[in-house]
Amino acid sequence: MVAKDYPFYLSVKRANCALEAQTVSSPAKETEEPSTKRVKPLSRVTSLARQILTKIGETTVALLQVLLLQAFLFRSDSRPDLFSPRPWSRNVPPANTKRRDSKLWSETFDVCVNHMLTSKEIKRQEAIFELSQGEEDLIEDLKLAKKAYHDPMLKLSIMTEQELNQIFGTLDSLIPLHEDLLRRLQEVRKPDGSTEHVGHILVGWLPCLNSYDSYCSNQVAAKALLDHKKQDHRVQDFLQRCLESPFSRKLDLWNFLDIPRSRLVKYPLLLREILRHTPNDHPDQQHLEEAINIIQGIVAEINIKTGESECQYYKERLIYLEEGQRDSLIDNSRVVCCHGELKNNRGVKLHVFLFEEVMVITRAITHNEQLCYQLYRPPIPVKELVLEDLQDGEVRLGGSIRGAFSNNERIRNFFRVSFKNGSQSQSHSLQANDSFNKQQWLNCIRQAKEKVSCAGKASMLNSEAHFLLSPHGSRVPQGETTLERMDQSDCESDCSMDTSEISIDCERMEQTNSCENEKQIETNV
């Protein structure tokens, strides 16, 4: 207790004693006096007691505040704060994320070497070092995906071995592939860190990337299965714990599984960067150009096969309510130009697929524990599809109450697709998530219509070029043999010739010439 507050404490104690004595004496006076007599001194004592108690309460609060302050100051000096975080508490601050710092060739190796090289050669060495360092990072990520995700989930029976094989695909086979390239690049590196030739290494190694075909083609099915398995609380809890761990660098499992594909499409850029800083008289010039052609062909081929695999995956998950909804244009499609979720003017979520020659509007459903797509309307041929870009606010949402209370955000980013063929007609006002997504849909639909239109014109030209006009006016197929024409002459329907095309010419010709012409035509037939 503070010294200056001690006399005040004594006065408070005396007041408490006086109050207790007065309280004890008051019942005695009440027993001596008749019960019907009103005693005025008791009210005075009560008012005095209230004043004293009020003063005592205020003083006690002040004393308690002083004591608590002293105790707090003394405790803070002697031991750590009570409210400091404990390692075992639930509200533990997030661990420091493991970051991968980018490395430069000039910072990794001896700086003295840089003074003997030109700026262009330094940039070339930086590009080669980036290729090598990227391989090292890729190998580390692939091993991490297997060690931190695949093996624990298999050991803890979070997923079955079959499910993990479907999700991870041929990931294991890619690790030795890139270890081989890294070893070759490190072997040709000089003690000072510089590399003279890499073109011949890339020309010999790049054809191995054809093994990416099966891995990339499996990614669509792997992503769908992984998203489905995330509904299991055990899988979700495991992936969330891994995401919060420092080793993940805030990347989820799918980011690790998609790293090989992103690395594959980056090779052409890396090789062009090396070639850009390679002198024209350098021996690597020709090899690098050859390597770029090889990787471009591989990427293009894998891209085609991946697109076909994606198209086949979605075609197998289309559910038809009736046989009339089936269309040969869907069965013959090999590529999905664009697909995604859109809303109609009633707010119904639709999943729209734009194949090469047909647009399919579906609704996502769950069938046999798999995400499937049920046809919402009959397929719309792209050739007969009418596209209309709608301005913001032009579409009115379905229902009077719904339209009255809708804000501006709900009537933006709409476009309309319509189709009419005889008695069949459709019109859909579709809303994209944002303006960028809307523009993507518009561009994809326009490009699809242009391709179909160009393909139709090309087929007409080919069909016309397939037939050659004979010198006497009859049309003879170019690839048709004499025996085939003789076989056709035996049929009465083929012998009955349509002379409407040459009737006008025959009238203008002289009678003798017309007779000879008719005889010649009959001979040709």
Note whether residue 32 is domain-resident.
Answer: no
Weakest-pLDDT range from 6-15, 117-126, 172-181, 447-456: 6-15
- Using DSSP's 3-state secondary structure scheme, residue 338 falls into strand
**Domain interval for residue 280:** 104-316
What per-residue confidence (pLDDT) applies to 248? 87
Residue 342 and residue 425 in one domain:
yes
What per-residue confidence (pLDDT) applies to 322? 85
Q: pTM surpassing 0.75?
A: no
Residue 324 and residue 301 in one domain:
no
Weakest-pLDDT range from 3-7, 103-107, 202-206, 376-380: 3-7
DSSP-derived letter for residue 429 is E
pLDDT digits (tens, 9 = 90+) for 486-514: 444 444 333 333 434 434 444 444 444 44
CB 171 within 8 A of CB 260: yes
Q: In which band, very low, low, confident or very high, does the pLDDT at 368 lie, cut at 50, 70 and 90?
A: confident
Q: Measured in Å, how far apart are the chain's first and last C-alpha atoms?
A: 130
CB 478 within 8 A of CB 467: yes
Residue 256 and residue 356 in one domain:
no
Number of Cβ within 10 Å of residue 242's Cβ equals 18
Note whether residue 12 is domain-resident.
Answer: no
Furthest C-alpha separation in the chain: 166
pLDDT digits (tens, 9 = 90+) for 288-321: 999 999 999 999 999 999 999 999 999 999 999 8
Mean predicted confidence (pLDDT) in 470-485: 40
Note whether residue 283 is domain-resident.
Answer: yes
Note whether residue 84 is domain-resident.
Answer: no
Residue 146 and residue 267 in one domain:
yes
What per-residue confidence (pLDDT) applies to 54? 56
Give 3-state DSSP helix, strand, coil % of the chain, rounded to 5.
Answer: 60, 10, 25
Note whether residue 256 is domain-resident.
Answer: yes
Residue 138 and residue 270 in one domain:
yes
H/E segment holding residue 288: helix 284-316
At which of 316, 350, 383 does a domain end? Answer: 316
What per-residue confidence (pLDDT) applies to 67? 55
The amino acid that residue 264 corresponds to is L
Distance CA 397, CA 406 (A): 8
Statement: residue 338 has pLDDT above 70: yes
Residue 325 and residue 235 in one domain:
no
Mean predicted confidence (pLDDT) in 238-253: 90
Residue 270 and residue 325 in one domain:
no
pLDDT digits (tens, 9 = 90+) for 96-131: 555 556 676 666 666 555 557 777 888 888 899 999
Weakest-pLDDT range from 38-52, 113-127, 143-157, 280-294: 38-52
The segment with the largest mean pLDDT, out of 108-112, 355-359, 452-456, is: 355-359
Residue 277 and residue 325 in one domain:
no
Residue 339 belongs to domain with CATH number:
2.30.29.30
Residue 231 and residue 340 in one domain:
no
What per-residue confidence (pLDDT) applies to 21? 47
Residue 204 and residue 328 in one domain:
no
Average pLDDT, the chain: 74
Residue 270 belongs to domain with CATH number:
1.20.900.10
Q: State the residue for tokens 């709900």.
A: 410
Percent of the chain's residues with pLDDT above 70:
62
What length is written for the chain? 525
Note whether residue 471 is domain-resident.
Answer: no
At which of 289, 316, 343 does a domain end? Answer: 316
What per-residue confidence (pLDDT) applies to 16? 52
Statement: residue 336 has pLDDT above 80: yes
Distance CA 295, CA 199 (A): 13
Q: In which band, very low, low, confident or very high, does the pLDDT at 421 lie, cut at 50, 70 and 90?
A: confident
pLDDT digits (tens, 9 = 90+) for 52-109: 545 555 555 555 555 555 554 444 444 444 333 433 333 444 445 555 566 766 666 6
Residue 249 and residue 363 in one domain:
no
At which of 460, 477, 494 does a domain end? Answer: 460
Note whether residue 382 is domain-resident.
Answer: yes
What per-residue confidence (pLDDT) applies to 57? 57
3-state secondary structure 4-27: HHHHHHHHHHHHHHHHHHHHHHHH
Residue 309 and residue 436 in one domain:
no
Total domains present in the chain: 2
Note whether residue 480 is domain-resident.
Answer: no
